[in-house]
Every structure is written in structure tokens, then in C-alpha cells.
């Protein structure tokens, strides 16, 4: 069992000059983001739409009712967000507010000038290295532009309420919302990876996720047992349990802690994380060259691999259907792309 009391990494943290968010994004998250970034003027339109949901009002609310960290307030947390921006080569140090709330929580708000909010419950729950991961997680959200999912969900939820009187209007919007929620959950896995790149301490990330699940008494918990719990959750019992897991996830913005624990453990021990630490990663100056079709194929591959690795019987029943649908979608996309090139 790893030493659960260690509070500092064994070596100095590495910096990643020019790193693209594509380096750490989950393939399903990355494919959606690359597609959205390829739409000319999309960011401008989204920022204008996000203004409809009182982003400025929220900023003023926290400015008036919370504590803004800085050199003279919560300096240790200010150092963490500054370090996260430095390690991930982010141009600006995001504003960060501490709000009095016993519920452990962290969030990133806004798309124009995003800011981070941490609750006092979270600060009291985590040690400094665990908190460093959470701050890096939130900075990863900003670097990826994940506010796009939240904004689109708000817009579609509002639109769905207005179209509820149409026979199929709300159903169509609901299907899109389910897709966006799935992307959003994958965005949380992406941000977990950004948090690991910031802390460069896998044990701290695991400790944080265990505490988020079970509270501060870390001495009563065990990483190996928590990992077994994750495998048990994955395997479920029968097809009914798998279906219930799927239904439980529909209203969640985050994957369950055991799932995040297993995912970050796998990524931390894999070649992708190792290559990034060695300086081999996609650069921001190559973002415009990223191809939507390649990223969609990568996302399909990632889903297939996860389906093949899972012991969930419900996923097993759906695997053949999903593989067929993915292949059909890939063929259709290739034909459309070929026709578009032909016209050009």
C-alpha cells in the first residue's frame, strides 16, 4: 500500500511550455472541443450568449460575499493557482475566491474571464498537495475552455423548457442535453489529468478523491481497497445493475469518485503521462492543425477500449450495437468529408 501520509512530491515539478490542452484531454472531450474550436466565430457567439446568464452578476456576487485570494489573503492558495498557471503555461493567473460553505466543492465560472471558487469545506478537507491538484484541475478547465459545455447546457435547458409544448421538441433537446452531459463528465476526467500534471503527485490525487468520497479520516481508508471498490462498481451485478448505473449518471455532472480514481490511476501509470513529463506533448501552436475526423476516430477508439476492458454486463450487451453505430457514423462522416472536398 502506498504511503498515504506523504505531503510533497519526491522531485521538483516540471513545467510544460506551450502545452496544448489536447495533451491531457480525454479523447471524447477533445473531439468535441476540436470540433467546436473549428467553427469560425463560435467563441464570440458563445460569450455573448453566456452573458444572458449573468456571468457578471456572479462575479460581483463572489466579489461581495467571498474572499479573493492574493498575496495578502490565502497566500498559500494564491501560490498554488500561480504555480498551476506557470506549469501549464497559462497566460493569466485566474482569480480565485474562497467562499464560506461546509460542503467540499470547487468550480470554475465564466467563459469571458473565468474565475475559480473553492469552498472552506474543501480547504479544510484536503492537505496542501491534494488542494494543489484541485486548483490544477480547475485551471485545466479554463485552459480547455470547458465553460462551453456548461453554457450550452444552460442555453439548451432554457430552450427545452420553451419547446416543451411541441410534441417532439423537448425530446430532441433532451437527447442533445444527454450528449452534452456525457461530454461534461469526460471533461472532468480531462481536468483530473490537468490536476495531476500540476501536482505531479499521483498519490495526492488519489488521496483527494478518496477524501471527497469518504471524508477526512484517511487513516481509516486504503487505496487498494478503494481500487477494489472501483472494480466492483465497474463489474456491477447483472444487466439491471448496469442499466441502473447508466440512469444514475444521467443527472450527474461528475463521474463517481471511484471511477475518477481508477481512471487517473490508469493514466498516471500509462505512456501518455510519461511522455508529457519527458517533454513530448502537443503544442498550442499546432491546435489549428488538429483534424476533427482524427479526433472523432480517437474518441471512438477510446470508447471501444473502455467497453472491451469493462466487466459491466450492460455494456457488454450494448457493445456490438455501439460498434456498429460507430462504424456507420465513421463511414458517413468520411463520405460527407469526401463530398465537401470534391465540391471545393
What does the alpha-carbon distance between residue 282 and residue 109 come to, in Å, rounded to a whole number? 26
Phi, psi of 140 (to 5 degrees): -60, -40
Q: All 3 cell numbers of residue 306?
A: 473502455
Contact 163, 169 (CB under 8 A): yes
Contact 274, 14 (CB under 8 A): no
How far separated are the first and last CA of the chain, in Å rounded?
A: 59
**Residue of 138, 188, 263, 295 with catalytic role:** 138
Q: All 3 cell numbers of residue 133?
A: 491538484
Contact 191, 138 (CB under 8 A): yes
Helix 223-235 × helix 257-268 angle, to 10°: 110
What does the alpha-carbon distance between residue 195 and residue 269 come to, in Å, rounded to a whole number? 15
CA 75, 97, 24, 38 dihedral sign is negative
Inter-CA distances, 25 with 154, 283, 343, Å: 23, 13, 33
Concerning whether 25 is annotated as a catalytic residue, the answer is no
Task: Name 267's Cβ contacts closer than 8 Å, sequence gap at least 6.
Answer: 193, 196, 273
Torsion region of 310: left, alpha or beta (phi above 0 gives left; psi -120 to 50 gives alpha): beta
Task: Name 1's Cβ contacts closer than 8 Å, sequence gap at least 6.
Answer: 222, 223, 224
The set of catalytic residues is 138
Amino acid at each position: 500500500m502506498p504511503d498515504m501520509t506523504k505531503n510533497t512530491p519526491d522531485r521538483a515539478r516540471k513545467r510544460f511550455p506551450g502545452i496544448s490542452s489536447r495533451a491531457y484531454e480525454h479523447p471524447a472531450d477533445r473531439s468535441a472541443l476540436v470540433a467546436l474550436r473549428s467553427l469560425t466565430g463560435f467563441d464570440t457567439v458563445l460569450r455573448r450568449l453566456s452573458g444572458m446568464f449573468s456571468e457578471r452578476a456572479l462575479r460581483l456576487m463572489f466579489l461581495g460575499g467571498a474572499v479573493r485570494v492574493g498575496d495578502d489573503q490565502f497566500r498559500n492558495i494564491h501560490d498554488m493557482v500561480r504555480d498551476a498557471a506557470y506549469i501549464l503555461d497559462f497566460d493569466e493567473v485566474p482569480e480565485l475566491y474562497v467562499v464560506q460553505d461546509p460542503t467540499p466543492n470547487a468550480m470554475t465560472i465564466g467563459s469571458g474571464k473565468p474565475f475559480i471558487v473553492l469552498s472552506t469545506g474543501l480547504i479544510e478537507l484536503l492537505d496542501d498537495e491534494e488542494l494543489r491538484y484541485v486548483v490544477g484541475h480547475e485551471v485545466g478547465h479554463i485552459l480547455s475552455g470547458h465553460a462551453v459545455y456548461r453554457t450550452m447546457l444552460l442555453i439548451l435547458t432554457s430552450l427545452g423548457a420553451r419547446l416543451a409544448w411541441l410534441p417532439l421538441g423537448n425530446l430532441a433537446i433532451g437527447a442533445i442535453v444527454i450528449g452534452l452531459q456525457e461530454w461534461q463528465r469526460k471533461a472532468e476526467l480531462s481536468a483530473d489529468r490537468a490536476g495531476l500534471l500540476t501536482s505531479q503527485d499521483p498519490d495526492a490525487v488519489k488521496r483527494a478523491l478518496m477524501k471527497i468520497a469518504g471524508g477526512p479520516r484517511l487513516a481509516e481508508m486504503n487505496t487498494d481497497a478503494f481500487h477494489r471498490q472501483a472494480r466492483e462498481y465497474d463489474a456491477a451485478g447483472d444487466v439491471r445493475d448496469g442499466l441502473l448505473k447508466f440512469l444514475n449518471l444521467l443527472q450527474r455532472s461528475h463521474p463517481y469518485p471511484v471511477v475518477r480514481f481508477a481512471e487517473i490511476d490508469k493514466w498516471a501509470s500509462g505512456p501518455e503521462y510519461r511522455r508529457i513529463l519527458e517533454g513530448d506533448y502537443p503544442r498550442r501552436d499546432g491546435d489549428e492543425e488538429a483534424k476533427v475526423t482524427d479526433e472523432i476516430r480517437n474518441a471512438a477508439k477510446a470508447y471501444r477500449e473502455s467497453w472491451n476492458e469493462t466487466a459491466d454486463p450492460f455494456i457488454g450487451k450494448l457493445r456490438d450495437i455501439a460498434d456498429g453505430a460507430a462504424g456507420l457514423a465513421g463511414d458517413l462522416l468520411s463520405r460527407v468529408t469526401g463530398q465537401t472536398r470534391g465540391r471545393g
